[in-house]
Amino acid sequence: MAAPAATVSAPSRCLSSANPRSAAQLNPTSLAFAAPSAGHRRGGDRCLGVRAKVASGVQSASVVGDEAQRPWKLSDARLVLEDGSVWRAKSFGASGTQVAEVVFNTSLTGYQEILTDPSYAGQFVLMTNPHIGNTGVNPDDEESNQCFLGGLIIRNLSICTSNWRCKETLEEYLIKRNIMGIYDVDTRAITRRLREDGSLIGVLSTDESRTDAELLEMAKKWKIVGVDLISGVTCDAPYEWSDKTDSEWEFKKDQSSETFHVVAYDFGIKHNIMRRLTSYGCKITVVPANWPASKVLNLKPDGVLFSNGPGDPAAVPYAVKTVQEIVGKIPVFGICMGHQLIGQALGGKTFKMKFGHHGGNHPVCDLRSGRVDISSQNHNYAVDPESLPEGAQVTHINLNDNSCAGLQYPKMKLMSLQYHPESSPGPHDSDTAFGEFIELMKTNRS
């Protein structure tokens, strides 16, 4: 015989649309969930009181035609893709109309690092993880000084934040930085479309005066291939970087006793790349993307880093020329865009991938040892290994599609990775790559 239904239910931990009056009257800036009275339990679990901050975009009420007020906002935004599909959604963050390339990211955490990664310039980032915003935003997780991406596309926007480092909600953060966001859209269906058809140009708009046909025309006319995006994210002048990884996050205990001077070309460099190099004993001078190679060589550095960055490597011939003038003279390390520029500088070719690699869970095999790392990746272009000259060796491959993920050329004193060894966000498996660069500079000193 079936057990009788429970007569006492646990208190709700979320706002319910079944009770519009109570939801609409809640304080939009803070919310306290009280612990239940003694004896009220479900499944034997204890319910503890939690203080949280409500995300205002989800809580906003909507007024419909009959002037009745609803507790949740209605769809007020559209994503129109170049294939003609139109996706209705709800907006948060900034308003307006924006066009960009749509890519999906499979990371489970780290949306703030993704928002501030300059490599996403010119792109809308769709998060495949459905629940975004629950940890809020804090000033410590920034990967650059601003957001460069075109917009954020998510399934569910958390109605509250709960994290000990949280300083503001995701929506507040996006509004301050004039970044558009949409939620309550079928991100799974869009991801499947991108995997099948490849990356698509899209238009995000909250402007109801524009027709779907007008937005579609914008998407079809906009191009990202062949566009120099690096010039929009690089620094204006050289500067010194000295910050290390904070001691509470440092996982490498054997710090180097030697100091190395590294010049880092800023093609869209992330802060944590520089923090990791500094933690390995490097003094870093950062220079703009168009800084002459002769001025860098005059500094007599121990090594040069060619950083990550956005867009098509074939669209920045000035950067390829710079790499050509430096490679072979001193040790160099290329990451992501830097890896692609090295490939072109050696005479190789790059190509645009179907939908790229974006996420913190890509398996990479080091062909020298057979070791497999789970890596953090963000790129839409790759090096064609068949086009490389004799002497250039493929050291790593992406196990999802066997694409080139790393190079070395001992005679030319170079190494490069297509992915992000600093992994912010992502696992720390590949941090040893910085140690390899240190050894390369040590060998060149002796």
Give me the phi and psi of 277, to 5 degrees please.
-60, -40
Length of the chain counted residue by residue: 446
- Residue 255 banded pLDDT, cuts 50, 70, 90: low
- Residues 165-171: what's their mean pLDDT? 96
> Looking at 147, 160, 336, 404, which residue is catalytic?
336
Contact 137, 112 (CB under 8 A): yes
- Residues 298-303: what's their mean pLDDT? 98
- Residue 73 banded pLDDT, cuts 50, 70, 90: confident
- Residue 49 banded pLDDT, cuts 50, 70, 90: very low
* CA dihedral over 404, 432, 419, 107, signed as positive or negative: positive
Cα 99 to Cα 109: distance, rounded to the nearest angstrom:
25
- Residue 29 banded pLDDT, cuts 50, 70, 90: very low
Taking 50 as the threshold, does the pLDDT of residue 47 lie above it? no
Cα 343 to Cα 336: distance, rounded to the nearest angstrom:
11
- Residue 211 banded pLDDT, cuts 50, 70, 90: very high
Contact 114, 425 (CB under 8 A): yes
Which residues touch 157 (CB under 8 Å, ≥6 apart)? Answer: 55, 57, 58, 90, 92, 132, 133, 170, 171, 181, 183, 184
SS3 state of residue 45: strand
**Residue 159: predicted pLDDT:** 87
pTM attached to this predicted model? 0.85
Taking 70 as the threshold, does the pLDDT of residue 16 lie above it? no
SS3 state of residue 326: helix
Count of CB atoms situated within 10 Å of the CB of 196: 9
Verify whether residue 362 is a known catalytic residue.
Answer: no
Run of H or E residues at 53: strand 50-54
Give me the phi and psi of 119, to 5 degrees please.
-65, -15
> Looking at 357, 358, 396, 420, which residue is catalytic?
420
Poorest-confidence range of 245-259, 271-285, 415-429? 245-259
**Residue 157: predicted pLDDT:** 97
Percent with pLDDT over 90 in the chain: 79
> Looking at 101, 143, 172, 422, which residue is catalytic?
422
- Residues 373-398: what's their mean pLDDT? 97
Verify whether residue 420 is a known catalytic residue.
Answer: yes
- Bridge-based pairing of strands 31-33 and 50-54 is antiparallel
**Residue 323: predicted pLDDT:** 98
**Residue 176: predicted pLDDT:** 96
SS3 state of residue 277: helix
Domains and CATH numbers, the chain: 8-16+73-221 (3.50.30.20), 230-445 (3.40.50.880)
**Residue 61: predicted pLDDT:** 52
**Residue 57: predicted pLDDT:** 57
**Pick from 276, 275, 278, 333: nearest CA to 306:** 333
**Residue 66: predicted pLDDT:** 55
- Residues 57-78: what's their mean pLDDT? 69
- Residue identified by tokens 């205002």 is 56
**Residue 424: predicted pLDDT:** 82
pLDDT in tens, 303-348: 999 999 999 999 999 999 999 999 999 999 999 999 999 999 999 9
Poorest-confidence range of 30-34, 166-170, 271-275? 30-34
Taking 60 as the threshold, does the pLDDT of residue 118 lie above it? yes
Cα 331 to Cα 433: distance, rounded to the nearest angstrom:
14
Cα 213 to Cα 219: distance, rounded to the nearest angstrom:
10
**Residue 374: predicted pLDDT:** 96
**Pick from 293, 297, 378: nearest CA to 335:** 378
Cα 148 to Cα 138: distance, rounded to the nearest angstrom:
18
**Residue 317: predicted pLDDT:** 98
**Residue 250: predicted pLDDT:** 77
Distances (CA, A) of 173 to 13, 142, 189: 25, 12, 27
For the chain, give the mean pLDDT.
Answer: 87
- Bridge-based pairing of strands 239-241 and 282-288 is antiparallel
Contact 303, 281 (CB under 8 A): no
